[in-house]
A and B are shown apart, each in its own frame.
Chain A
Amino acid sequence: MTTRAPAETAPGTSVAPRRHVLDLDDFSAGEIHALLDSAEAMREVLGRSIKKVPSLRGKVVITLFLEPSTRTRVSFEQAGKMLSADVINIGGAGSAAEKGESLLNTALTLQAMHADLIVIRHPHSGAPYFLARNLTSTAVVNAGDGMHAHPTQALLDLMTMRRHLGSLEGAKVVIVGDVLHSRVARSNAFGLATSGASVVLCGPPTMMPLDLLHAGRTPSLPNVTVEPDLDAAIEGADVVMTLRLQSERQEAGMLPSLREYTRRWQVNEARMSLAKPGALLMHPGPMNEGVEIASSLAHGGLAQIEEQVTNGVALRMALLYQLLTGTEERP
């Protein structure tokens, strides 16, 4: 058990500085807390009229996004620029990847240009691990890999929850939707379980990892359980997080119809009323309003969706700062 019951590191004790952020499975509760504290300080920078500090001057951050993204890429870019890092954006179209250059050769090329950190978004699970294994002097941050992990999304979700709930210890968080294909759900499960929250996964049986569906839980994450019925799952929840439903899932035969999905797993007012009063409603975006989330709720008082985005920038500032300076000190 190296991750689920990590030793708390007392303040001031030194641990080997983290080089990469690939998922939350190797974060201790202490490390998550320290990072969220740092992100709170970064939020203050975000609120200034001159939104820039010189902390990462002379550092080169490359965003290598081989899958479409708006919020995550812009969020990283903005975070880097506010800390005065030089941020270079590379996408699939117009890059050497389009000419068939392998990911390995692209990454080695960027390393040879002395890039300090690569933020990678990739359609295939494990691509950031592949880079981390092959790069010797460039740090790697996972900005979403296939169905596997999206650690900075989970961290900004944890930050949003902590801001409202005070502590995550004992909180009940329900994650609803296409869990099978969701890197957001996977990373949140680790971060939440490590932080002492209990997680209930809810969604169609065709969109749940089979081992989890059959066992109802997974040996590595004792705080995570499965409840197929949304009304039962949502009962008494502190946080309800809905996941984006990709329309191609229905075409792939995984769902009878959007209508049936909406009827059984859409988060709407009636269902939110079963949660704790004032429970948070979250969505990693982009939303399909009227499918996984009722339109009226998406823009209602419970929804934290825009705050999630703001916190994302602050969190990514804290993360870049930590990785590129080797410290959690505030700027």
Chain B
Amino acid sequence: MSAPLLIKNARIIDPSDGSDEIGDLLVKDGVIARRGSANGGVPDGTRVVDGTGMVVAPGFIDLHAHLREPGGEDKETIATGTAAGARGGFTTICCMPNTTPTIDSAAVVGFIARQAADAGPVRVLPFGAVSRGRAGVELTDMEELARAGVAGFTDDGNPVATGHLMQMALLYAGQLGLPVMDHCEDHSITHGLGVNEGWVASRLGLAGYPSAAEESIVARDIALLELAGGALHIAHLSTAGGIEQVRRAKERGLRVTAEATPHHLTMTEAWVLGSHGRGSPDEALSNDAYETRAKVSPPLRAETDRQALVEALADGTVDAIATDHAPHTFADKAVPFEEATVGLSVLETALGSLMGLVHGGALDLAALVHRLTAGPAGVLGERYAELATLRKGTPADVVLFDPNESWVVDAASFASKGKNTPLDGETLVGRVKLTIAGGEIAYDGLAS
């Protein structure tokens, strides 16, 4: 157990009770021992941190990350992925089941739990597959997976293959009280991956991935939710049309939730042209075009989609920010665009890029913190409510960040094995300084 730690004079934002005030926070014996402006004794041996100008919040919860273990250890391990998460302020990470073998048995869930325990204090909550081997045919042993500790079910990387399977999954997982997360993509519409259908795809001679490929599956899933009940969670929502459907379904009282990624909230299809998103249709392509580090599924969308997504995040249509952290090796990305794997390494840049929305006036800070904490906890359900609170006596999952620190992204120095981010070299404003998970210091950036 770490020594007691007192953060003084910080802005403490706790979305679980809506509080937002300047004060102190004491972590002792692994729990939140004191919070607020009231003075109290400081135990012997307490480390005191001056939090002036900084923000204290519950540790961030990532609903969607690819930690690659087992089977993809060249790209990431649970140890490197959770270290990256800690640097990004995340104290809970939900890992996706598209591993080898698939997370479709209690044995694999147990393996992940052991690796996570060895790795450090950051909590890892696996999602189990909806279908055995993610093959889209038979349901997994969902009850056994639930008992082993999965937080929900998804065939992420693929959509739940058929309407029939989705209906069965909603019924079965619904009875277990767990959400079904869907990667909404009609494969028959997406001829190519990684670039939005539109002027950039057309300019680059790449097959586009239209919004309709997402929207049609969102529509299917919402219709099935109405039929079957249960809880539906839409992964990495990226289109204005998909957002509108989720908004209307929520208005009708359906149990649908949605997440958005930092990259879909802050970047557009123009990033595929290279030059850090500053390319325009009027310019000749530069040698940096076909930027494989901006290749992601769903693709970075049009500016109108991005704006709709930010609005949806602000108004709560999007419940949570999830990173879809997808680490890849150098060789996975050092190929022509169409051959490159999809995904970005996100955990270590998430807060910095999202703070751009706050500094730009598109989102207020308390709302951002909510969508990184109470928002995702709400998607996971009541049993995980304590993961997103600074209430006295709860296990200490805490992040301290400086909202105004300017820093330059240096992917080579990431804790993640995945250096695949187009933000490499960008200046971001807002940086995590200290992460405490379960009362233990998971990342300490105060010295540097």
- Taken residue by residue from 3 to 42, chain A's Cβ proximity to chain B (1 for < 8 Å, 0 otherwise) reads as 1100000000000000010110110000000000000000
Q: How far is A146 from B337 in the complex, measured between Cα atoms in Å? A: 11
Tell me whether A23 and B285 are in contact in the complex, defined as CB-CB below 8 angstroms, given that A126-B290, A147-B205, A211-B202 are known contacts.
yes
Q: How far is A246 from B13 in the complex, measured between Cα atoms in Å? A: 61
Task: Check A172 for interface membership: any CB of B closer than 8 A.
Answer: no
Complex interface: chain A residues within 8 A of B331 (CB): 102
Task: Check A133 for interface membership: any CB of B closer than 8 A.
Answer: yes
A232 to chain B, nearest CB (A): 23
Q: Which of A23, A126, A218 contacts B336 (CB 8 A)?
A: A126
Tell me whether A122 and B336 are in contact in the complex, defined as CB-CB below 8 angstroms, given that A3-B283, A129-B289, A220-B282 are known contacts.
yes
A123 to chain B, nearest CB (A): 8
B429 to chain A, nearest CB (A): 29
A125 and B288 contact, CB distance less than 8 A:
no
Q: How far is A305 from B394 in the complex, measured between Cα atoms in Å? A: 79
Most chain A beta-carbon contacts within 10 A, residue among B282, B283, B287: B287
A-B contact pairs, 21 of them (CB 8 A): A3-B282, A3-B283, A23-B285, A25-B285, A26-B285, A102-B334, A124-B338, A125-B205, A129-B289, A130-B336, A133-B287, A133-B288, A147-B205, A147-B207, A148-B205, A186-B205, A210-B198, A210-B208, A211-B199, A211-B202, A218-B202
Instruction: Tally chain B residues at the interface, Cβ within 8 Å.
Output: 28
Q: Which of B203, B284, B287, B339 contacts A124 (CB 8 A)?
A: B339
Task: Check A209 for interface membership: any CB of B closer than 8 A.
Answer: yes
Task: Check B351 for interface membership: any CB of A closer than 8 A.
Answer: no
Task: Check B204 for interface membership: any CB of A closer than 8 A.
Answer: yes
Task: Check A309 for interface membership: any CB of B closer than 8 A.
Answer: no
Q: Which of B199, B282, B337 contacts A125 (CB 8 A)?
A: B337
Q: Which of B203, B205, B207, B287 contacts A132 (CB 8 A)?
A: B287
Q: How far is A309 from B339 in the complex, measured between Cα atoms in Å? A: 32
A253 to chain B, nearest CB (A): 10
Q: How far is A130 from B281 in the complex, measured between Cα atoms in Å? A: 20
Task: Check A301 for interface membership: any CB of B closer than 8 A.
Answer: no
Tell me whether A125 and B283 are in contact in the complex, defined as CB-CB below 8 angstroms, given that A149-B205, A211-B198, A211-B199 are known contacts.
no
Complex interface: chain B residues within 8 A of A133 (CB): 287-288
> Which residues of A236-290 have CB atoms within 8 Å of chain B's CB atoms?
none
A130 and B202 contact, CB distance less than 8 A:
no
Task: Check B319 for interface membership: any CB of A closer than 8 A.
Answer: no
Tell me whether A218 and B205 are in contact in the complex, defined as CB-CB below 8 angstroms, given that A124-B339, A125-B290, A125-B337 are known contacts.
no
- Taken residue by residue from 112 to 146, chain A's Cβ proximity to chain B (1 for < 8 Å, 0 otherwise) reads as 00000000001011110110111000000000011
Complex interface: chain A residues within 8 A of B288 (CB): 129, 133
Task: Check B335 for interface membership: any CB of A closer than 8 A.
Answer: yes
Q: How far is A218 from B198 in the complex, measured between Cα atoms in Å? A: 11
Complex interface: chain B residues within 8 A of A211 (CB): 197-199, 202
Task: Check A49 for interface membership: any CB of B closer than 8 A.
Answer: no
Task: Check B206 for interface membership: any CB of A closer than 8 A.
Answer: yes
A185 to chain B, nearest CB (A): 10
Q: A130-B337, A132-B287, A211-B197 known; 18 other A-B pairs, CB under 8 Å?
A: A1-B282, A2-B283, A3-B283, A3-B284, A26-B285, A102-B335, A103-B335, A103-B336, A126-B338, A129-B290, A146-B206, A148-B206, A209-B201, A210-B198, A210-B208, A211-B199, A219-B199, A219-B281
Complex interface: chain B residues within 8 A of A104 (CB): 334-335
- Taken residue by residue from 40 to 71, chain A's Cβ proximity to chain B (1 for < 8 Å, 0 otherwise) reads as 00000000000000000000000000000000
> Which residues of B269-300 have CB atoms within 8 Å of chain A's CB atoms?
281-285, 287-290
Q: How far is A23 from B281 in the complex, measured between Cα atoms in Å? A: 15
Tell me whether A218 and B289 are in contact in the complex, defined as CB-CB below 8 angstroms, given that A125-B338, A126-B204, A210-B202 are known contacts.
no
Task: Check A294 for interface membership: any CB of B closer than 8 A.
Answer: no
Most chain A beta-carbon contacts within 10 A, residue among B202, B331, B337: B202
Task: Check A212 for interface membership: any CB of B closer than 8 A.
Answer: yes
A47 to chain B, nearest CB (A): 35
B285 and A22 contact, CB distance less than 8 A:
yes
Task: Check A183 for interface membership: any CB of B closer than 8 A.
Answer: yes
B281 and A218 contact, CB distance less than 8 A:
yes
Most chain B beta-carbon contacts within 10 A, residue among A2, A122, A125, A220: A125
Tell me whether A146 and B334 are in contact in the complex, defined as CB-CB below 8 angstroms, given that A132-B287, A186-B205, A210-B208 are known contacts.
no
Complex interface: chain A residues within 8 A of B283 (CB): 1-3
B211 to chain A, nearest CB (A): 11
Complex interface: chain B residues within 8 A of A149 (CB): 205
Q: Which residue of B lies closest to A212 (CB)?
A: B202
- Taken residue by residue from 177 to 213, chain B's Cβ proximity to chain A (1 for < 8 Å, 0 otherwise) reads as 0000000000000000000011101111111101000
Q: Which residue of B lies closest to A148 (CB)?
A: B205
Complex interface: chain A residues within 8 A of B202 (CB): 209-212, 218
Q: How far is A130 from B335 in the complex, measured between Cα atoms in Å? A: 7
Q: Which residue of A lies closest to B280 (CB)?
A: A220
Q: Which residue of A lies closest to B281 (CB)?
A: A220
A227 to chain B, nearest CB (A): 18
Q: Which residue of B lies closest to A186 (CB)?
A: B205
